[in-house]
């Protein structure tokens, strides 16, 4: 057998439709994707996330790291006073430098804060509470929608929540709550659309969570209820637009757009740090 042909024998999963194909084929016999054996950098990124990293864990580590950084930047947070809700609260000064959002930032044209603020938190209870919700809901959405759509639902709903609250006069705002409401919105869409015993169970459980959390937002001052509502709508609509794994398997488009959204997130942080420190 000529050496050339022996190089790349075997079957792979098509990066678009996920079906088994020959690694050397010029196009996928199932979905028609050209050169399915040649994987672009975006697909490699998604595969790395799938195999070696958990996106949910990465969000939790990233938020925790930024929280610690926001205290280091202005250690006056350590001598904080008053109620338990202000325990270890980073200063407005520190949060602003790392990419806090709100009407003031948007009016200055700092649109990258719509992304960066998702990962910033204003106190120990704030971050603890949000990370517990992400740990609970992230793997559920990943299981039912796949990794790429989890990334898109989380990011788009967070941005939409801040865009709506920033337009409707919220001065300063930060936190992953909009994205958390987005994850709930996506799961509620799933439950409604899928139906059946499992769909109904998901729907009932998530409606319960959403009502509880939304009501909780009105019990305390300083909670950005517009970001919660906007995030919920964003998550619901993104889920509706992109579909879920059972009905519509993850495609190459999902993977590419999710990778672009990760790259945009990194770029937003570079802009925020550049703007805040230089
Ligand atoms: Zn295919």
List pLDDT tens digits, range 89-144.
Answer: 899 999 999 999 999 999 999 999 999 999 999 999 999 999 999 999 999 999 99
- How high is the pLDDT of residue 71? 93
The distance between the two most distant Cα atoms of the chain, rounded to a whole number of Å, is 78
- How high is the pLDDT of residue 27? 87
From ligand 1's centre to the CA of 30, what distance in Å?
5
Q: Which residues are catalytic?
A: 177, 228
**Residues of the chain where predicted confidence (pLDDT) is lower than 50:** 1-6
Contacts of 203 (CB under 8 A, 6+ apart): 188, 191, 192
From ligand 1's centre to the CA of 14, what distance in Å?
5
Are residues 128 and 85 in contact, defined by beta-carbon separation less than 8 angstroms?
no
Q: Which of 236, 210, 238 is nearest to 225 (CA)?
A: 210
From ligand 1's centre to the CA of 33, what distance in Å?
6
d(CA 255, CA 179): 19
- How high is the pLDDT of residue 88? 85
From ligand 1's centre to the CA of 24, what distance in Å?
13
From ligand 1's centre to the CA of 254, what distance in Å?
14
- How high is the pLDDT of residue 81? 60
Beta strands 20-22 and 11-13 are antiparallel
- How high is the pLDDT of residue 5? 45
Predicted TM-score (pTM) of the model is: 0.88
């Amino acid at each position: 057998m000529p050496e050339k042909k022996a190089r790349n024998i075997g079957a792979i999963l098509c990066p678009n439709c996920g079906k088994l194909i020959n690694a050397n084929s010029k196009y996928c016999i199932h979905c028609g994707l050209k050169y399915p054996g040649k994987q672009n950098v975006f697909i490699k990124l998604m595969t790395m996330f799938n195999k070696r990293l958990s996106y949910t864990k990465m969000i939790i580590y990233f938020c925790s790291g930024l929280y610690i950084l926001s205290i280091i930047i202005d250690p006056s947070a350590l001598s904080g006073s008053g109620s338990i809700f202000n325990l270890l609260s980073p200063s407005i000064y520190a949060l602003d430098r790392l990419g806090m959002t709100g009407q003031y930032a948007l009016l200055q044209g700092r649109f990258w804060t719509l992304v960066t603020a998702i990962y910033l938190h204003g106190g120990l209870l704030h971050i603890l509470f949000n990370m517990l919700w992400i740990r609970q809901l992230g793997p559920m959405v990943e299981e039912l929608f796949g990794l790429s759509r989890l990334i898109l639902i989380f990011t788009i709903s967070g941005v939409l929540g801040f865009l709506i609250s920033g337009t409707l006069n919220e001065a300063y705002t930060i936190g992953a709550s909009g994205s958390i409401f987005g994850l709930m919105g996506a799961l509620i869409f799933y439950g409604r659309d899928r139906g059946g015993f499992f769909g109904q169970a998901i729907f009932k459980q998530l409606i319960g969570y959403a009502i509880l959390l939304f009501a909780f937002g009105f019990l305390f001052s300083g909670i950005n209820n517009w970001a919660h509502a906007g995030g919920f709508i964003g998550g619901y609509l993104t889920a509706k637009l992109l579909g879920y794994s059972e009905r519509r398997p993850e495609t190459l488009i999902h993977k590419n757009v999710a990778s672009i959204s990760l790259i945009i997130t990194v770029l937003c942080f570079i802009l925020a740090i550049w703007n805040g420190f230089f």
